[in-house]
C-alpha cells in the first residue's frame, strides 16, 4: 500500500548517517535529487496520491508531508555536516578548486590622498608630517590668527587643555601647523606638502564631519610670486581632474595668507552647462590658497624682505567627492563594504 511505501522511505531517510559517506558533498546532492528532485521519489508519490480515493487522502497527505519534511531536514543536516568538516573534506581531495578569500583594497580616501601626494611630488614637493595634538602657538598664533578669531572658540575646536594663564592644547583643526614647524626647523628654500587628519567640533551630516583629511602645500624661497602659485594650481587641477579642466581664482580671506583666494575648477559633470553638484554655475570650489603673510614668516624667523612664499590647502574628502561623485561624507567612515568595494579596481 502507498502508506506503507511512504513509511518505509521515512524510516530509510532517518537511518542515514553522515559518517558512512566518503564524499559528503556529492552524497548530499545525490540524496536531494533522489528524494526531492523533479523526477524524485516524493514527486512520484504525490502523483500516485492524486489518484487515491478521497477518504484516504487526509491520512496519505499527512504522511507525504512528513516524508517531505524529513527529506528536507536530512538535506540541511548534510549541508551542516559538510560546512563543519570543510577543512577535512578539502584535505582529502586535492583536485578540488580553491575558494580564494577576497583581497582587500585601499580606502578611497587613501587612494585620493596618495594621488595628490604623487602629483605634487612630480614637481619637487616632499611630504612633511607632525603631531595631531597641537599647542596654540603652532595651531593659531604663529599663523596670524587674532586672539578673538572664531576658530579659537569651543564650537570649532576640540580642546585638550584650556586653562587661564596656560597655552591651549587642542586637536589640530588644520595641517597648517605642520608648515609652521617646518619653517621653524628649516631655512628656505622650503617646498613641502602636509597630508593628515584634522578635527573640528562640527555636527556630522552629509556635507560635514568632525574628522576629515587635508593636504596643504607650502613653497618659500626668494622671488616666489602669485604667478608661481597660479601655475602650480593649474598643473594640479589638470593632473587631478583631466587636461580639459579650467580654473578660476576668487578673492578670499585667510589669516595666514595675503592676498588670499579660493580656487574653482570647471565642472565636467554637466558638460559645462551646470548640474546639481555645481548648483548650475559650471564651477566647483576645491581649495583655498594665497601668498604667505609676512607676519607668519616673521613668527618663524624667516625674513619677509628676503623671502616670499605661497600656501594652499584642500580637503581630501572634497576631492574624492568631486572625482568619484560621492554625495555623502558619512560614507567614508561607516565601513560599509557595499560602498568600499566600488573602489577595488582603483590602484
54-92 per-position pLDDT tens digit: 877 778 778 878 888 888 888 788 777 767 766 555 455
The span from the CA of 334 to the CA of 105, in Å, is 16
**Nine-digit cell string for 56:** 484516504
**Regarding predicted confidence, which is higher, 272 or 312?**
312
* Average pLDDT of the chain, as a whole number: 84
The span from the CA of 34 to the CA of 196, in Å, is 63
Of 121, 125, 117, 151, the C-alpha closest to 136 is: 151
Q: What is the enclosing helix (H) or strand (E) of 108?
A: helix 108-121
Question: 108-343 has which fold?
Answer: BirA Bifunctional Protein; domain 2 (3.30.930)
Domain boundaries, the chain: 2-92, 108-343
Q: Which contacts qualify for 290-293: CB closer than 8 Å, 24 or more apart?
A: 290/229, 290/252, 290/254, 290/256, 290/257, 290/258, 290/259, 290/260, 290/261, 291/224, 291/226, 291/229, 291/257, 291/258, 291/259, 292/218, 292/220, 292/256, 292/257, 293/144, 293/255, 293/256, 293/257, 293/258
Evaluated on CA atoms 180, 184, 188, 194, the torsion sign reads negative
Q: Taking residues 222-231, what's their average pLDDT? A: 96
pLDDT for res 222: 95
**Regarding predicted confidence, which is higher, 262 or 30?**
262
Q: Is the pTM of this model over 0.75?
A: no
Q: What is the enclosing helix (H) or strand (E) of 228?
A: helix 226-241
Amino acid at each position: 500500500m502507498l502508506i506503507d511505501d511512504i513509511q518505509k522511505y521515512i524510516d530509510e531517510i532517518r537511518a542515514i548517517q553522515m559518517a558512512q559517506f566518503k564524499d559528503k558533498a556529492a552524497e548530499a546532492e545525490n540524496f536531494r535529487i533522489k528524494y526531492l528532485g523533479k523526477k524524485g521519489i516524493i514527486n512520484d508519490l504525490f502523483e500516485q496520491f492524486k489518484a487515491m480515493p478521497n477518504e484516504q487522502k487526509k491520512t496519505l497527505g499527512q504522511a507525504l508531508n512528513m516524508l517531505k519534511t524529513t527529506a528536507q531536514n536530512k538535506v540541511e543536516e548534510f549541508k551542516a555536516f559538510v560546512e563543519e568538516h570543510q577543512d577535512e573534506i578539502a584535505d582529502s581531495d586535492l583536485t578540488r578548486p580553491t575558494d580564494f578569500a577576497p583581497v582587500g583594497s585601499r580606502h578611497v580616501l587613501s587612494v585620493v590622498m596618495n594621488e595628490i601626494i604623487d602629483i605634487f611630488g612630480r614637481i619637487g614637493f616632499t611630504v612633511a608630517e607632525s603631531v595631531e595634538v597641537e599647542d596654540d602657538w603652532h595651531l593659531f598664533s604663529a599663523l596670524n590668527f587674532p586672539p578673538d578669531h572664531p576658530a579659537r572658540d569651543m564650537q570649532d575646536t576640540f580642546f585638550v587643555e584650556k586653562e587661564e594663564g596656560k597655552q591651549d592644547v587642542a586637536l589640530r583643526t588644520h595641517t597648517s601647523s605642520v608648515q609652521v614647524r617646518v619653517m621653524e626647523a628649516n631655512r628656505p628654500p622650503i617646498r613641502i606638502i602636509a597630508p593628515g587628519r584634522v578635527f573640528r567640533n562640527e555636527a556630522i551630516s552629509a556635507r560635514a564631519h568632525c574628522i576629515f583629511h587635508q593636504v596643504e602645500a607650502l613653497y618659500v624661497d626668494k622671488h616666489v610670486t602669485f604667478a608661481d602659485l597660479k601655475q602650480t594650481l593649474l598643473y594640479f587641477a589638470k593632473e587631478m581632474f583631466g587636461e580639459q579642466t579650467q580654473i578660476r581664482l576668487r578673492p578670499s580671506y585667510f589669516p595666514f595668507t595675503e592676498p588670499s583666494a579660493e580656487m574653482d575648477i570647471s565642472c565636467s559633470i554637466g558638460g559645462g552647462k551646470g548640474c546639481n553638484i555645481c548648483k548650475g554655475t559650471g564651477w566647483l570650489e576645491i581649495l583655498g590658497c594665497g601668498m604667505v603673510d609676512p607676519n607668519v614668516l616673521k613668527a618663524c624667523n624667516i625674513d619677509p624682505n628676503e623671502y616670499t612664499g605661497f600656501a594652499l590647502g584642500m580637503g581630501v574628502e572634497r576631492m574624492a567627492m568631486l572625482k568619484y561623485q560621492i554625495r555623502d561624507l558619512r560614507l567614508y567612515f561607516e565601513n560599509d563594504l557595499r560602498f568600499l568595494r566600488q573602489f577595488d579596481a582603483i590602484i
